[in-house]
Structure 1
Amino acid sequence: MNTRRLLRTFAIGIGTAGLLASGCSGGGSSPSASATGTAAPAGLDSYYAQKLSWRDCGVEGFECATMKAPKDYDKPSDGDIDLAVSRKKATGPGKRIGSLLVNPGGPGGSAIGYLQGYAALGYPAPVRARYDMVAIDPRGVARSEPVECLTGKEMDAYTQVDQTPDDEAEVRKLTDAFEKFAQGCEKRSGEILPYVSTVDTARDMDVLRSLLGDGKLNYVGASYGTFLGATYADLFPDRAGRLVLDGAMDPSLPAVDMNRDQTAGFEGAFQSFAADCVKQPDCPLGTTSTADAATALKQLLKDLDAEPIPTGDEDRKLGESLATTGVIAAMYDEAAWPQLREALEGAQRSDGSGLLSLADSYYERDLDGKYANLMFANAAVNCLDLPPAFDGPDAVEKAVPDFEKASPVFGRGFAWASLNCAYWPTKPTGTAHRTEAKGAAPIVVVGTTRDPATPYKWSEALAAQLDSGTLLTYDGDGHTAYGRGSDCIDTAINTYLLEGTPPTDGKKCT
């Protein structure tokens, strides 16, 4: 479990849709930076002047290309990195507005997988009609020189390590697991680890903007994708076009505050689930009160900590760690609540297969035991963007009471999970900071009031920090808001993307 993973849950419902795009390269040309009215930053002319060659990449309606970027923007002569790009051209009718770059979050989520599996098909038709839908897998992710850390078998072992250690032996086993994970990343991907920060990826986005022929970047980012979009606007405020930041992060928070806030967010989401569950005749946590439901879940997790149960996979039993991951996976979308009720009922009968399935969806583990690189890239970016939340086990123990106050159900496990960056082999290059993007055009920040992964107060904070931020609120459950069933939210965002008119600051939707 990694509490700072912020990916929206399209992957749970769509799985591997669109993954045939890997290895694509191109046919066609791209305008130079001068053609878009923007100058290339010093020393980067060759990157802004390159040509994207587009070709069919094996998924109907999509083209793919490979874009080159400097591995190290401070030393562009030190070598390149190859980044995978995909697009689906505007379908019409109506005049084409330009390109709309999308990112689903993570960090570590495949933007190309998201584009091909959902965005280019599921975004509102009027938006798809007038924008070329575009995605770039961020450096270190999926098709763009992915970070690799552990084998499938090693990841299976890693995900089962007890993250609520009860004694020194269990603490040592957990810290050993974090160290082995970090060492695996350094061994397999050490050359790229220093160069996968959010700032690096935001600079890649500006190169792509220019190569696509757009004077300004139009963008929809979800979850961690909001941090990426806000970072872009801060670096290039004059090039920020229509930016939608859905399920926002607060860039001003240090890692420990971010993790503790997210812990409280998942507690709030569980309370919403429990309130719904106790009204259902099949609720495995009782039908009396949310407090009783929380007690029942805590007892189940305690029992699984003491004695893991079978899952149907002889090499993997369901212990507390995998069970907790399965529960939090279902918190991202209320549509998964019935599946969670069934999985919890199965666990009470000593059948751990349901919760294991939810956990596997969270980790993006396929039926053959192979993991996407999501969790590897997630750690690589997070540990580079901010100094670690804790420097060792003693610091975690001191913080556990605050985490348990934030979430009696999840607090202890989330506190210990926050220790992972303490063992990272590459020093962080970023720090917590206010993000203002002074001079940028209006930026729409969308917050969901009971969002588990990106608490609503983060959206309030980011909208207030941004010089041109406009807050749009969805009063509801689940992670992010656009395209999740609110006509009010969708209409406001569509109007902004199509006409350039942002919603009134403070607008609320249900």
Structure 2
Amino acid sequence: MRKVLLAAVCGAVAVAGVTVPAASDATTSAPGTSRALTWGTCPATTLPTPDLECTTVRVPLDYRQPSGKKITLAISRLPSTDPGRRRGVLLTNPGGPGISGLDFPQLLTLKGLPAPLPASVREQYDVIGIDPRGVGRSTPVTCDLTPEQIAIGNLPYARTPADVTAQARVAKAEAAQCADADTSWMLPHMTTANTARDLDTVRQALGESTASFLGVSYGSYLGAVYTTLFPRTTDRVVLDSVMGPEGYDITAMRGLARGMEDRFPDFAAYAAAHPEYGLGATPARVTRKYHQLADRLRRRPLGIFTESVFRGATFSKLYSTDFDNLAGIWQSLDRGVEPELPDDGADLQNTLAARFAVICGESDWPRSVARYQLDVAVDRVRYPKLGAASANISACAFWHEPSAGPKVAITGHGPSNVLLVQNERDPGTPLVNARRLRVAFGVRARMVTIDQGGHGVYGFGANRCGSDAMNTYLATGERPRQDVFCARETR
């Protein structure tokens, strides 16, 4: 696990041994300039970032007191490849909450992607990455989670009411640790609305009159809140893999189980068509193998692979369109060999703390353990692959720090400048919730729905119709005149 340390050294912020220019308070300068900012070398990340420049911006902790306490945001810039044709800036967010976005612009340029950021978009924008408030190299939050708590993660599978009760003890301790941590003063201000306000503050610091936005997964909800709060200063808004209009609340969390049921048949068909893995000759047999492996690991865990880890790992691998790795994990487990899961370098302590801070603080969660026991019992039957995990109790049931300010209601008020792009069989943001955001936006939005599975269309998907719709809109401002369905593409 990567450890990230922020410390003030000689007027600069030292991050993982790399010096980033000192933060500047956001001020408005002439459009198209960033005279208030000094750009320098980016801190080391798990991804090489040779094309990025980095700096920091100071923003209000509490926007109701703009002259009060400030926190730091780390931001990056992938400069436009043709300043003469440059339209402005494209702010980005890769999802979360709790995920670093500093190297996201570089990630979108990788040649190994099915559809990397094309020249038509690169020449139009400086692409901006941001570590959101509380995350990574921005002023970070912590809950002082133990290795054991981190290992449990946020999808512990519950087979009985007693399992929910046991998880409630863990969740209550996590909430108490967050409230007692040194960064508890940040918790009420760790909201999507404040992160959206940060985006507009970054726009001002960059000297831009407007900013476009590309957000994926939770970033789609952030973008929806951003353009709702700032309809006149958001330019072209693209939301990929779309959350519902209430964001990451209990409906979204329980919806993960629906998303897995939508997506799993794609993997079952793949595994059945590849007998070398020995997982079953038909999709039905592959499905039975899933439940057999889960039950076996419940009785006899294999290394780190408990039942919950197996179900959670399968769910996360369904985000991808590459099923070889998941099939290999199953094959190893079936043979009694513990698979190796790569370390992605994420600081899970910070990720989970920031995730709790956002989703627990800004939404209303049931407080009764009995309510979660009922939800688990219902979803275990309704969605047998993941329902008893995604409906389980979390720290949110015991959260001590309500958010400073109400949630933002997404409406159709504002310019018609939003493009939603959604896979039909997305495990992380199921189509049913994306359609709800489409209704909330009304005439402001168009939606492109793709006959494809997996989480993420832009850059990561293999559907040219969907990617072209996004690129065309970002590069030219031309959106589909009405909602569009993209047929499955074969390669």
Q: Determine if the TM-score, normalized by the shorter chain, exceeds 0.5.
A: yes
Match of residue 328 from structure 1: 315
Distance in 2 between residues matched to 1:82 and 1:139, nearest whole Å: 7
- Check the 8 A contact 1:115/1:135 in 2, yes or no: yes
**Equivalent residues in 2 for 1:305-320, closer than 5 Å:** 305-310=298-303, 317-320=304-307
Match of residue 42 from structure 1: none
Match of residue 84 from structure 1: 74
- Give 1 or 2: higher helix fraction: 1
Distance in 2 between residues matched to 1:405 and 1:172, nearest whole Å: 19
Distance in 1 between residues matched to 2:154 and 2:349, nearest whole Å: 17
Question: Of 198, 202, 207, which aligns to 2:196?
Answer: 202
Match of residue 374 from structure 1: 351
Match of residue 435 from structure 1: 410
- Check the 8 A contact 2:256/2:430 in 1, yes or no: yes
Question: Of 54, 64, 72, which aligns to 2:39?
Answer: 54
Distance in 2 between residues matched to 1:440 and 1:22, nearest whole Å: 42
Question: Of 295, 304, 307, which aligns to 2:297?
Answer: 304
The residue type paired with residue 375 of structure 2 is A
Q: How many percent of aligned residue pairs carry the same amino acid?
A: 31
Question: Of 437, 460, 477, which aligns to 2:453?
Answer: 477
Match of residue 313 from structure 1: none
1:141 and 1:473, CA in 2 relative to 1: closer, same or farther beyond 3 A? same
Question: Of 321, 339, 346, which aligns to 2:332?
Answer: 346
Q: Shift of the alpha carbon at 1:20?
A: 6.7
1:161 and 1:125, CA in 2 relative to 1: closer, same or farther beyond 3 A? closer
Match of residue 450 from structure 1: 425
Q: Kindly report the root-mean-square deviation, in angstroms, between the aligned alpha carbons of the 2 structures.
A: 2.9
- Check the 8 A contact 2:242/2:433 in 1, yes or no: yes
- Check the 8 A contact 2:215/2:223 in 1, yes or no: yes
Q: What secondary structure, in the 3-state scheme, does the structure 1 residue paired with 2:336 have?
A: coil
Q: What secondary structure, in the 3-state scheme, does the structure 1 residue paired with 2:391 have?
A: helix
- Unaligned 5+ residue runs, structure 2? 1-14, 44-48
Q: What secondary structure, in the 3-state scheme, does the structure 2 residue paired with 1:243 have?
A: strand
Match of residue 40 from structure 1: none
1:468 and 1:485, CA in 2 relative to 1: closer, same or farther beyond 3 A? same
Distance in 1 between residues matched to 2:430 and 2:51, nearest whole Å: 36
- Check the 8 A contact 2:144/2:349 in 1, yes or no: no
Q: Shift of the alpha carbon at 1:22?
A: 6.4
1:442 and 1:62, CA in 2 relative to 1: closer, same or farther beyond 3 A? same
Deviations 1:319-365 (A, max 9, x none): 11211221111010121x111111111112222224xx16x55xx55
Distance in 2 between residues matched to 1:505 and 1:430, nearest whole Å: 35
Q: Shift of the alpha carbon at 1:433?
A: 6.5
Deviations 1:58-81 (A, max 9, x none): 642322111011111112233101
1:150 and 1:348, CA in 2 relative to 1: closer, same or farther beyond 3 A? farther
In the alignment, structure 1 residue 66 sits paired with structure 2 residue 59:
no
The residue type paired with residue 91 of structure 2 is L
Q: Shift of the alpha carbon at 1:440?
A: 2.3
1:375 and 1:119, CA in 2 relative to 1: closer, same or farther beyond 3 A? farther
Distance in 2 between residues matched to 1:77 and 1:232, nearest whole Å: 22
In the alignment, structure 1 residue 218 sits paired with structure 2 residue 223:
no
Q: What secondary structure, in the 3-state scheme, does the structure 1 residue paired with 2:458 have?
A: coil
- Check the 8 A contact 1:237/1:437 in 2, yes or no: no
- Check the 8 A contact 1:265/1:451 in 2, yes or no: yes
Distance in 1 between residues matched to 2:155 and 2:267, nearest whole Å: 26
Distance in 2 between residues matched to 1:432 and 1:54, nearest whole Å: 34
Distance in 1 between residues matched to 2:27 and 2:65, nearest whole Å: 22
The residue type paired with residue 105 of structure 1 is G
- Check the 8 A contact 2:228/2:411 in 1, yes or no: yes
- Unaligned 5+ residue runs, structure 1? 1-18, 38-48, 311-316
Distance in 2 between residues matched to 1:350 and 1:62, nearest whole Å: 44
1:148 and 1:476, CA in 2 relative to 1: closer, same or farther beyond 3 A? same
Deviations 1:194-223 (A, max 9, x none): 111000010011011112122112011001
Distance in 1 between residues matched to 2:155 and 2:31, nearest whole Å: 51
1:120 and 1:162, CA in 2 relative to 1: closer, same or farther beyond 3 A? closer
**Equivalent residues in 2 for 1:126-275, closer than 5 Å:** 126-150=120-144, 153-159=147-153, 163-166=157-160, 168=162, 170-186=163-179, 187-252=181-246, 255-275=249-269
**Equivalent residues in 2 for 1:337-416, closer than 5 Å:** 337-354=323-340, 357=341, 361=344, 371=348, 373-388=350-365, 390-416=366-392
Distance in 2 between residues matched to 1:279 and 1:245, nearest whole Å: 34
The residue type paired with residue 305 of structure 1 is R
- Check the 8 A contact 1:227/1:248 in 2, yes or no: yes
1:156 and 1:226, CA in 2 relative to 1: closer, same or farther beyond 3 A? closer
1:161 and 1:452, CA in 2 relative to 1: closer, same or farther beyond 3 A? closer
Distance in 2 between residues matched to 1:212 and 1:305, nearest whole Å: 53
Match of residue 473 from structure 2: 496
Distance in 2 between residues matched to 1:228 and 1:99, nearest whole Å: 17
The residue type paired with residue 331 of structure 2 is E
The residue type paired with residue 400 of structure 1 is V
The residue type paired with residue 76 of structure 2 is S
Q: What secondary structure, in the 3-state scheme, does the structure 1 residue paired with 2:275 have?
A: coil
- Check the 8 A contact 2:248/2:359 in 1, yes or no: no
Match of residue 33 from structure 1: 28
The residue type paired with residue 158 of structure 2 is T
Q: How many residues align?
A: 461
- Check the 8 A contact 2:278/2:331 in 1, yes or no: yes
Q: Shift of the alpha carbon at 1:445?
A: 0.7
Distance in 2 between residues matched to 1:139 and 1:253, nearest whole Å: 17
- Check the 8 A contact 1:148/1:376 in 2, yes or no: yes
Match of residue 13 from structure 1: none
Q: What secondary structure, in the 3-state scheme, does the structure 2 residue paired with 1:491 have?
A: helix
The residue type paired with residue 339 of structure 2 is S
1:159 and 1:464, CA in 2 relative to 1: closer, same or farther beyond 3 A? closer
- Check the 8 A contact 1:148/1:188 in 2, yes or no: yes
- Check the 8 A contact 2:241/2:457 in 1, yes or no: yes
Q: Shift of the alpha carbon at 1:477?
A: 0.7
The residue type paired with residue 327 of structure 1 is T
Q: Shift of the alpha carbon at 1:182?
A: 2.1
TM-score using structure 2 length? 0.86
Q: Shift of the alpha carbon at 1:100?
A: 0.9
Deviations 1:407-440 (A, max 9, x none): 1111112211x53310222124576764115122
- Check the 8 A contact 1:104/1:225 in 2, yes or no: yes
Match of residue 5 from structure 1: none
